[in-house]
A and B are shown apart, each in its own frame.
Chain A
Amino acid sequence: MESTETVLDVAELGRSYEKHRAVDGLSFQIRAGEILGLVGPNGAGKTTTLRTIAGVLPVKEGRVTIGGFDLARDEERAKRVMRWIPDDPQPFDSLTVHEHLEFTAALYGLADWRPRAEELLVRFELTEKKDAFGGELSRGMRQKLAFCCAWLAQPRLVLMDEPLSGLDPRGIRSAKHEIEALASTGTAVILSSHLLALIEELATRLLILDRGRNVFTGTLDEARERFREHAGSSLEEIFFAATGESGGSAKA
């Protein structure tokens, strides 16, 4: 259910760690219902970009607007419509799975959350674990719990960093289905991953980063068109062609 409504607007985002330029003048937008695949080599600035949009890192250069709210000036309202799933979610070790949902509901001010929580526990196969402490969960279970908490309030924007790591094949299939289902309800999703096949399968648009810079933004077809003379048609070949030409701007 893609629409023209812009959910996230990133303008001239920048971030440096001492002398290292992690993100350099990054600008892009994402609309409701889109799944933006964020790819790039190690150290390209993907996680820094996501953590900055999530509010984990302060916005030092540029501007981030989420759901019409400026992240720097209207932080609480911007964060209320967004969810962040880091690459290795760490639940609270003394809260049970169900209490995580209770906590999330209170944190985001949700009413009547219980039926949806029960539904999510079933969908993510966590019903049997609902009384388990966060500290007792396996890597895959932690990931599923993070999905449940993020999905609970049907946010307008979800940021995911390597969302499938730790999941078994059944969990991977289920997660992919759920991500697509979430986007179909109008939620914008940013999916950062090194698994190019996953991006190729799910993403409706691509953002390729290299050394902190945006080297390509557009659909997969636009990428194929853009890098036609350099590579074949798979995302892997596009990725190598794009990151091998990082010096030039290749915005579609």
Chain B
Amino acid sequence: MLSLLTFTNSFSLRGLYLQPNEIETLFSAPVSRPDLIRYRLRSAIARSLFGSLFFGWMFARRAPVPAFAFSGAVVAMLTLPMVGQAFSLVLGDAENRFAGKLAKLPWRVLTMVSVFLAIGGYFATMRGGVLERAEGRGFSYLASVWAEHPLARALRLPFTPWVRSISAVDLVHFVPWFAACVAIAIGLWLAVPRIPVDFRELSLETSADVARRLSRARRGLGATQGSASAATRSWRTPWLAGRGPFGAVAWRKAVSILRKSRTSFVVGGLIVALVSVLSVTVFATDGRDAFASAVFVAGFGTFYLCIGLRFDFREDLELVGLVRSWPIAPWKVFLATLLPETLLVSVMITLGVAGVAIYRQDPDPRLALLVAVVPLAVLVWTSIDNATFLFAPVRTNAAQDGALQNAGRAMMLMVMRMIGLAIAIGLAVIPYAIAAFALELPSVAAVAVGILGGLPIVLVEVGLLVLAGGAVLRRFDVARDTP
């Protein structure tokens, strides 16, 4: 698996990956290209050291001779970066030579390998009543059958020296294989820097690619991560919230969403459609009405779309300085920024709910109430989510300095979000709880009390959350760099 990851990673890091400042300094310095590769290999091996010790310890716990397993695993793990670098150089060079023809080849190879594995696994499972024999023995039996398939054995063949070293039971079996592993590692260390590839242009492209990916990652999981499509240049977005400062902020966000997130729309729409179909087919049981299915669509849709279609402050963090110079109160900026996402999610869910009602031919009046509640629920969640984000914007990236600390901070903030959501929901259901459990009113009356009492509470919550979001936006310190 690690070899596969190394292989696929080498597709994306073609040539020699160096950070932009390293490229400017090292490429113009009197340093030979083999020395640059050795520098990169040293860094990669040093980064693998801790992981190799960990994996060595893991293998040692299960192997017949722990010392052999530990040594074999460590050497294997330290060899992987060199293999990956060799792939990066060779594949990158091939791509350069054959222009676009090879650009998609690695993925085609991977797809073909996956298909072969799937077919091989299928036949290995179906042949000779394996499934019948597997009954009662569990997945481990099936895995052992797959592992013994000739295709699997062929795929494992290149890994023989390391596997034999790790699983050796005595010195006689260990020494030759381990010596082969060490020889391969030394051979790669000597050979990889001598691969005759001029990687400079590839490195520039790779560095720019990685910078773009990091930039997108810094914006979090927002849906508007792409750039505006040229085809949308002539699109006119309606000014739904008027032509004042508030309307301008909302309009700007809506334009951004419509021009940059068409794929996200399609995916989001498909998911809602799929959930709607599932709610009236697979999950439906006799006697359930359209309302139950619609609640499922609204609940899942709100949850999924709020995470999947995130058009919020994450993508505007670099603009907060500019936003602060605008003649509009921060709470209005906060609300106007979140409004387009709220509307979009609500419209999609409404369409899903309408689809359910039409399919069930059940125009239940409660559906209208459900549709009315969805925008408030979306606004409550996006307000909590964004206020927390602006309070302490954490944007972690792979291999970023301090990523571990950020991971802990991000987790704490997620806990804060969940606590906020729990409090919001808890307060909103208080009237219903009192009516149903304390006063023991009949079901219909309890629901009515719940709605009449709960809606004003949710409205107050939305108001308070928007004010809180504005306060957080106001105190957001643009003078401080955010990770």
Asked whether any CB of chain A lies closer than 8 Å to the CB of B409, the reply is: no
* Contact of A107 with B325 in the complex, beta carbons under 8 Å: no
Which residues from chain B contact A96 at a C-beta distance below 8 Å?
A: 233
* Contact of A109 with B245 in the complex, beta carbons under 8 Å: yes
Which residues from chain B contact A103 at a C-beta distance below 8 Å?
A: 248, 251-252
* Contact of A108 with B327 in the complex, beta carbons under 8 Å: yes
Asked whether any CB of chain B lies closer than 8 Å to the CB of A244, the reply is: no
Q: Which of A55, A57, A78, A94 contacts B260 (CB 8 A)?
A: A94
* Contact of A51 with B327 in the complex, beta carbons under 8 Å: no
Q: How far is the CA of A56 from the CA of B474 in the complex (A)?
A: 9
* Contact of B321 with A133 in the complex, beta carbons under 8 Å: no
Main secondary structure of the interface of A (DSSP, over half): mixed
* Contact of B228 with A135 in the complex, beta carbons under 8 Å: yes
User: What size tier do the contact residues of chain A reach?
Assistant: 20 to 34
Least Cβ distance of A17 to chain B in Å?
7
* Contact of A76 with B328 in the complex, beta carbons under 8 Å: yes
* Contact of B227 with A86 in the complex, beta carbons under 8 Å: no
Least Cβ distance of B335 to chain A in Å?
15
Asked whether any CB of chain B lies closer than 8 Å to the CB of A168, the reply is: no
* Contact of A57 with B255 in the complex, beta carbons under 8 Å: no
Which residues from chain B contact A84 at a C-beta distance below 8 Å?
A: 325
* Contact of B327 with A56 in the complex, beta carbons under 8 Å: no
* Contact of A51 with B244 in the complex, beta carbons under 8 Å: no
Asked whether any CB of chain B lies closer than 8 Å to the CB of A95, the reply is: yes
Asked whether any CB of chain A lies closer than 8 Å to the CB of B220, the reply is: no
Q: How far is the CA of A135 from the CA of B326 in the complex (A)?
A: 21
Asked whether any CB of chain A lies closer than 8 Å to the CB of B324, the reply is: yes
Q: Which of B233, B248, B322, B478 contacts A106 (CB 8 A)?
A: B248
User: What size tier do the contact residues of chain B reach?
Assistant: 20 to 34
Asked whether any CB of chain A lies closer than 8 Å to the CB of B329, the reply is: yes
Whether A107 touches B327, Cβ cut-off 8 Å, given contacts A57-B479, A90-B319, A131-B233, is yes
1/0 per residue, CB under 8 A from A, across B243-268: the answer is 11101110110011001100000000
Q: How far is the CA of A5 from the CA of B411 in the complex (A)?
A: 54
Least Cβ distance of B355 to chain A in Å?
30
Asked whether any CB of chain A lies closer than 8 Å to the CB of B318, the reply is: yes
Least Cβ distance of B467 to chain A in Å?
16
Which residues from chain A contact B325 at a C-beta distance below 8 Å?
A: 54-56, 79, 82, 84
Least Cβ distance of A81 to chain B in Å?
9
Asked whether any CB of chain B lies closer than 8 Å to the CB of A80, the reply is: yes
Least Cβ distance of A28 to chain B in Å?
20
Give B234's nearest chain A residue, CB to CB.
A131
* Contact of A17 with B327 in the complex, beta carbons under 8 Å: no
* Contact of A93 with B227 in the complex, beta carbons under 8 Å: yes
Least Cβ distance of B242 to chain A in Å?
8
Whether A94 touches B255, Cβ cut-off 8 Å, given contacts A56-B478, A103-B248, A106-B247, is yes
A residues 92-107 touching B (CB-CB < 8 Å): 92-96, 99, 103, 106-107
* Contact of B327 with A135 in the complex, beta carbons under 8 Å: no
Least Cβ distance of B437 to chain A in Å?
47
Whether A92 touches B252, Cβ cut-off 8 Å, given contacts A57-B479, A133-B228, is yes
1/0 per residue, CB under 8 A from B, across A27-65: the answer is 000000000000000000000100100111110000000
1/0 per residue, CB under 8 A from A, across B89-111: the answer is 00000000000000000000000
Which residues from chain B contact A76 at a C-beta distance below 8 Å?
A: 327-329
* Contact of B251 with A17 in the complex, beta carbons under 8 Å: no
Asked whether any CB of chain B lies closer than 8 Å to the CB of A21, the reply is: no
Asked whether any CB of chain B lies closer than 8 Å to the CB of A114, the reply is: no
By Cβ-Cβ distance, the 8 closest A-B pairs, closest first, are: A106-B248, A79-B327, A94-B228, A80-B327, A107-B248, A84-B325, A94-B259, A94-B256
